Structure 1
Amino acid sequence: MIAVRDLRFAYSGGFSLDVPVLDIDGGERVAVIGPSGSGKTTLLNLVSGIKVPEAGSVSLDGQDISILPDRSRRRVRAATIGFVFQEFALVDYLTAEGNVLYPYRIGAGLRLDQAARNRARDLLSRFGLGEKMQRRPAQLSQGERQRVAIARALVTRPKVILADEATGNLDPANKAAALDLLFDQAAETGAALLCVTHDHELLPRFDRVIDFADLRTPA
């Protein structure tokens, strides 16, 4: 589902990222670990098409998105990827429910019907936010905003789920619930799940754990 080949990206400040090979199958749950500043978030941005590599390719479900123009990458991202951002990236003026349904506002191929609304409400309820669906982000705690962001990533039943420290702001009970939802989604739809995490206690739950230092080392 995810195939990276000879990927290279560099920032103007001198930091560069090289990933020779990364393959993740549909339904596979993969965690990436490594020190802060090593490029793990950059990797997620490249896999999602938010950033474009200087060289190499990123393919999602057989389609090389690294050669697509920006508008096409956005379309693929909306239709294919659920992304849990480290800083949540919630829309301040929307309610929790509105934020979960936001992908349907920006995804031309996504249909906002009653089934989608029901799924959004179900996800929020499973996260203990059933009574807070109409609250805006400023009225939610940091952990609650994190849960809204995870629900938003899952609502479209994406083929690829990318999570950047998705459980970093959650207490143990909600951390377990978040992982359960992420794993259930991967199992239910055959989605590839790629999670960046610093929480080593979670690693035994994943199918595979990749040390980012090894990922960046050519074979």
Structure 2
Amino acid sequence: MTSTLFDLPKPVTLPVKGETEDYPIHRIFCVGRNYAAHAAEMGFEVDREAPFYFTKSPASAVLTGASVPYPPGTKNYHHEMELVIAIGKPVFRASKEAAKAAIWAYGCGLDMTRRDLQIASREKQRPWDLGKDVEQSAVLSRLTRAEEFGEIGPQRIHLEVNGAVKQDATLNELIWKLDEIVMDLSKFYHLVPGDLIMTGTPAGVGPVTAGDKITGGIDGLDPIELTITAAE
């Protein structure tokens, strides 16, 4: 057996409702501007040409209930509440039916964002990595099997900071539906079990500071909770 020079941290795995085994994370894809009101608050019109994506590394994942320090390099750290898709079977260049069948489970997620760094990169036409791929910035809940959750529709998606509602919408406001996202993304990647897709955030994103407690949820799924502690 080949040995390694050093040990890496164990990857985060997600518990699954009703299952004894966890779901391992392979990759995290994220959909940008997938609610019209959020696109508008960020200064953009809805784009129906095609979804667009960015990624977070699996190392950025953390389970709900965590306390994480305010990250370095930013003065404008934002919350973004999202529905998360968990892929359950390999799919490439998927048909509509294959895309639906590949969606194995759903969960709640937070795409925490260094907004000032994201905007600075965008204005210089540079990648968003410093703004988006932030340590402990992909906050994830326990998963629920897709057949148990049912059809996507009027389920409420919401987020609160210190008990005050900041984001409040429904899943039927998604611009790109879930099968459309999987179909499109599978044109560019061989999606496999372990791949997560964060499907975009509704309007109401905003800054948090050390000491804030973030809570959020989607009807029918386990909720999200995150506490922001002082910067290290």
TM-score interval (norm. to shorter): under 0.3
More strand by share: 2
More helix by share: 1
TM-score normalized by the length of structure 1: 0.25
TM-score normalized by the length of structure 2: 0.24
